[in-house]
Structures are given as C-alpha cells and as structure tokens.
Amino acid sequence: IFLEIADAVIIIPEDFEEKVINKEKAIEVYRDDRKIESYQIQNQINKFISFVNASRENGEFDLEAVNLALKEKANVKMLESKKTNESINEWFYYYFNFTSYVIIAIYITVIGMVMTDFSEANIESRRRVSSKKNIQFNKEIYLGQFTLAAIITSIFILGSIIFRGKYIGEVQFSKYVVNTIIFSFTILSLTFLINTITNNRFVKNGISTVLSLGTSFISGVMIPQELLGEKVVTISKFFPTYYYVRINRTHIRSFLDVKYEILMQLLFALAFLLMGLYFSRIKQRA
C-alpha cells in the first residue's frame, strides 16, 4: 500500500459466512487513505454485505437476488470540469516539502558558520575598539542574515519556476510561495536562537543534521502524514515543519483556510525571536 502497488488489501476469514450471520466484523480491510479508490472499495464491500443480509431468509442467503441487485446500473451524466494534471500537483507538493528540509539544514549551517566567524575573539576585540556602536553592528548583522536567508529561499522558489514554470497556472503556486517565505522566516528566527546559545561549529552542524532530518521524518516530508502513527504526529506538532507540510497538502480557496497553520508558524517564529533576544542580552551582560 505504501508503495502504491495496491489501493487496498482485503482479508476474508474462513468463517466469513458465520460472522455475517452474527453481524460481526466479517472482513479486514487495509486501505490507502490517500486514494479515493480505496474508499470506493470499502463502499462496495459494505454494499455487498448489506445486500447479503437483506436477502437472508430461513437461515440462507439468496445470492442470485444479490447478484441481480448489484447488476442494476444508474445512468450518470458527467459534468465538464477543468482537468488538472495530478503529476504536476504532486511534483510541486514534494518539491516544496523537501525544500523545508534543505532550508533548515542550510540556514543553520551556513548562517551559523558565518556568525561563528563574527564571534571569534579577534573580530570581537576589533569591534569593541572601533567607533561603530553595538546597536548599529547588531543591526547590520541581522540585516545580513535576513539578506542571506532571502537569497537562499529565492533560489528554491526560482528553481521551481525554472523546472516547471509552464505549469504554475495549474497549481496553487502562490500558496507554496507564501508558505515557504513564512517557514523561512520561522527557521531564520530559530537560527538566531541557536547562534545566541552556542558558537561551536560542531554543535551547530549536529543541530542542523538532527533538526533537518528529524523533523522531516516525523512531520510528513519523508513519509506522508497519513501513514505516521498518532504519537508521532502529536510530537511533530511541536515543530513548525508539521504546519508547513499541512499547508502544502491542503487545497485552499483562500489563505483563511490555513490561517491556523500560518499562525502557528508565526508563533514559533515569535517564540524563537524572544528566546534569542533573551539569551543575547544575557551574553552581553556577561
């Protein structure tokens, strides 16, 4: 099912007929909740069992009557609708999902390494004896981080345009762009927090690897959220990646449809910023 070889797997026990008579759970169905076809299979099974129970008389089933009833067909008139290329939708969905993994890894590694260089004793001593005010220096540092982050994020957004630009009109491209920008701001705030806590290169590399891979596995980037266990999903809600992926997988009519997910990412960003400012002030006083 995970590899999409089958839409559903049906297990019929040997005492199937007895369980139907006793109105017990007669069969076991494992279905792919990502596919509409799997729900249709479940509906067909339920319909068959309902018809069989209705045909039971004097302890026996009238299978001929059931088959006759199931052969009845309805005339269905299909309304014209705009066709969408599902493969293109999936490409954009997976592309921007994996973008979150790369953004976490690159932001913490690249921006973190740059900030480590600025925190070296020689540079710090030169800054203190210079005429540049501490507030002005920090302002330039933060502006530099923001610029570097904007360049990194823009590269991935432009990458989707370069590879699949002609299909942008067929997908909700603005949703992906806005979601990626909000997520990037959240991870930039997280990077700021990490930089205020440690200047150790090895620690930053370790955090980058653990957070990027770890959150990707538990939040739906590597494995679809539908296939994750309930406890795993509960844990993933404590990370912004979960809400980023939820927006990507949601078909929206307006951004109000995902206002909760957007708000959660912004709250994460605010929390990271406030904690970063707190630790930064402690370091300055020390």
53/153 same-domain check = no
Q: How many domains does the chain have?
A: 2
**Which two structure tokens, joined as six digits, stand for 19?**
């369980």
pLDDT tier for residue 107 given thresholds of 50, 70 and 90? very high
Residue 257 counted as domain residue:
yes
Over residues 15-33, the mean pLDDT reads 79
pLDDT tier for residue 83 given thresholds of 50, 70 and 90? low
- 22-31, 49-58, 165-174, 175-184: the lowest-pLDDT one: 49-58
pLDDT (0 to 100) of residue 142: 84
**Which two structure tokens, joined as six digits, stand for 171?**
């997908």
Residue type, 45: I
179/272 same-domain check = yes
253/190 same-domain check = yes
231/268 same-domain check = yes
Sign of CA dihedral 233, 238, 241, 245: positive
Residue 3 counted as domain residue:
no
163/208 same-domain check = yes
176/52 same-domain check = no
pLDDT (0 to 100) of residue 139: 80
Residue 2 counted as domain residue:
no
Residue 173 counted as domain residue:
yes
pLDDT (0 to 100) of residue 177: 96
31/107 same-domain check = no
pLDDT (0 to 100) of residue 238: 95
Over residues 55-65, the mean pLDDT reads 69
- Which single residue is written with the structure tokens 């009109």? 169
Residue 77 counted as domain residue:
no
Percent pLDDT > 70 in the chain is 88
- 70-79, 190-199, 264-273: the lowest-pLDDT one: 70-79
pLDDT (0 to 100) of residue 260: 95
13/59 same-domain check = yes
By the 8 A CB rule, do 107 and 188 touch?
yes
pLDDT (0 to 100) of residue 242: 95
- 108-112, 138-142, 253-257: the lowest-pLDDT one: 138-142
Over residues 109-124, the mean pLDDT reads 79
Residue 193 has pLDDT above 60, yes or no: yes
The DSSP code sequence of 229-257 is: -HHHHHHHTTSHHHHHHHHHH---SSGGG
pLDDT (0 to 100) of residue 41: 83
**Which two structure tokens, joined as six digits, stand for 52?**
């069989």
Residue 145 counted as domain residue:
yes
Residue 260 counted as domain residue:
yes
- Which single residue is written with the structure tokens 């099974």? 45
163/255 same-domain check = yes
- 45-59, 101-115, 164-178, 245-259: the lowest-pLDDT one: 45-59
41/178 same-domain check = no
Percent pLDDT > 90 in the chain is 42
pLDDT (0 to 100) of residue 58: 65
Residue 76 counted as domain residue:
no
Mean per-residue pLDDT of the chain: 85
128/200 same-domain check = yes
Residue 82 has pLDDT above 60, yes or no: no
What are φ and ψ of residue 211, in 5° steps?
A: -70, -45
pLDDT tier for residue 226 given thresholds of 50, 70 and 90? confident
Structural domain boundaries, residue 218: 86-285
120/238 same-domain check = yes
- What is the model's pTM? 0.68
